Structure 1
Amino acid sequence: MVETASSIMHSLSQSIEDSPAPIYARVKQAICHKISSGEWQADQRVPSESEMVKALNISRMTVNRALRELTDEGILIRQQGVGTFVAQKKAHSALFEVHNIADEIAARGHQHRAQLIEITRTKATMEEAMNLGVRTSHSIFRATILHFENELPIQLEERVVNASLAPDYDKQDFQLNTTYDYLMKVAPMTEGEHLVEAVMASAEECQLLQIEPSEPCLQIKRRTWSKEQLVTTARLLSPSSRFQLFGHFHR
């Protein structure tokens, strides 16, 4: 049975707790409860500001603040002239570990697909040689792979690989076996480092990731070693609206 706007608003009003907290905070809490309980699903349109003002008998400024903060926190998405919707839950990756992106996506119950954009075998540039600890004449692979989660681009992977440590890298079917799968077989990772930054994507990257030029991205620059040899460097770019990093630690 499809809920009407009035029944949705009645349910929301009943969820607002009677507490000393500011009303905007209680409205936020009620909306978050609807989402976390599964009553409001991802991509579902939520009541408009006007509907909330009328049904909850509170000011537009109060409603606007609640919706604005929920949007800033990535819980809601507001589309100008269309409405406000429940955001898709962001994918997340481990902050202190290196995992197979296909496994992470599968663990969320979603479908992974990889699209090979380009792969070449060539000689390392000065910058690539310095990053891999090799000479400029050393043979490397350069690859660009686009990862999808349920057919939505989730990560653009630009990778440079030491060809002497992974000689068949360019012969892999990256739909069946990810970069992680192959490299862990031929040069198992024993050490890694990564640098995380917020960046803006180029026009070409925006097109591949299917995002607006104004959307910031999360960039991870990573290097991994096998024993004492540098195997690969990678730049991983993900839209901020679809991806987050998560870490758990203790003393």
Structure 2
Amino acid sequence: MAETQSDTLKLDGAGPVYDQIRRAIRDLVVGGAWPPGTPVPPEHALMEQLGTSRMTVHRALVQLAREGLITRRRRSGTVVASPPASHAMFDILSIPEEIERLGQDYAYEILAREVGKVSPEVAERFGLKRSDRIVHLLVLHRGDGRPHVLEERIIHLAAVAAAAGEFFAEVPPGDWLLQNSLWSQAEHAISAVGASVQEAGLLEIAETEPCLLVERRTWNQDRPVTAVRLLYPGPRHRFVGRFGPYGPA
């Protein structure tokens, strides 16, 4: 199979050889000839077929991995990557709906739940007062059994008192809040971050793999309702915002 795939690679003769290899593979991926999950020929097979050095082939594959077109794994080899999941930037996201739209089976696990006053670490991370009473949650959401996003959330009990007695066994926290609280304002912030050792372990990614951090806060009038940090494995996700001159479309 690898030999057949390498035979389909045609270099165009324009520019550095590594870039010709990159473009040839990119065109096969983008054009659908190599769908997601297709094994990419190993470096030695590409060397022999294209008559070039291993360093040149390696450079092309590294660039393709940076572009998110291929996924390289030491034990299982290199495969064509799945397209990144798209998310609406302006919505209050229902994570179960987000995963189901991808055609995946949704599941979640409450990893930690604490009720009461704010710890110094949580107060600093979320910009809270030490006197605030909250529910603090850590939740892992999965799609088809694979970690999709790690959620850390605080719920202000002054705004949503019922959260103190809720264990979220049937409905994940975000969806429960949409059903049991009101909000009038929301704020989003998106940044690129590195995962901590614990976060990387939970998301089943390398410690060096970049992540997208979505931070959201909601208020009902001037009263804070919830704040959440959603950590997504970067190469598997992208966020989309469509808007017009009068705001989100």
Residue number in structure 1 paired with 2:5: 8
Residue number in structure 2 paired with 1:141: 135
Q: 33, 36, 44: which is aligned to 2:30?
A: 36
* Residue 109 of structure 2 corresponds to residue 115 of structure 1: yes
* Residue 180 of structure 2 corresponds to residue 186 of structure 1: yes
- The answer (yes or no) to whether the contact 2:157–2:164 under 8 Å persists in 1 is no
**Per-residue deviation, residues 61-106 of structure 1 (Å, max 9, x unmatched):** 5433321210111211223465322223322323333211111111
Distance 2:49 2:73 in 1: 22
**Per-residue deviation, residues 178-205 of structure 1 (Å, max 9, x unmatched):** 3232212232332211332332323222
Residue number in structure 1 paired with 2:90: 96
| Unmatched 5+ stretches in structure 1 | none
- Partner SS state of residue 12, structure 1: coil
- Partner SS state of residue 30, structure 1: helix
Q: Which aligned segments of 4 or more residues in structure 1 are displaced greater than 6 angstroms?
A: none
**Per-residue deviation, residues 159-195 of structure 1 (Å, max 9, x unmatched):** 1101132233355564642323221223233221133
| Unmatched 5+ stretches in structure 2 | none
* Residue 62 of structure 2 corresponds to residue 68 of structure 1: yes
53-62 vs 183-192, which deviates more? 53-62
Distance 1:20 1:207 in 2: 43
- Partner SS state of residue 6, structure 1: helix
The 1:188/1:80 distance shift into structure 2, 3 A limit, reads same
Count of residues paired in the alignment: 244
Q: 217, 226, 240: which is aligned to 2:234?
A: 240
Amino acid at match of 2:2: A
How much does 1:243 deviate? 2.7
CA-atom RMSD in angstroms: 2.9
- The answer (yes or no) to whether the contact 2:168–2:176 under 8 Å persists in 1 is no
* Residue 166 of structure 2 corresponds to residue 169 of structure 1: no
Amino acid at match of 1:10: D
- Provide the identity percentage: 31
Distance 2:168 2:28 in 1: 39
Distance 1:114 1:79 in 2: 26
- The answer (yes or no) to whether the contact 2:2–2:42 under 8 Å persists in 1 is no
- The answer (yes or no) to whether the contact 1:132–1:230 under 8 Å persists in 2 is no
* Residue 144 of structure 2 corresponds to residue 150 of structure 1: yes
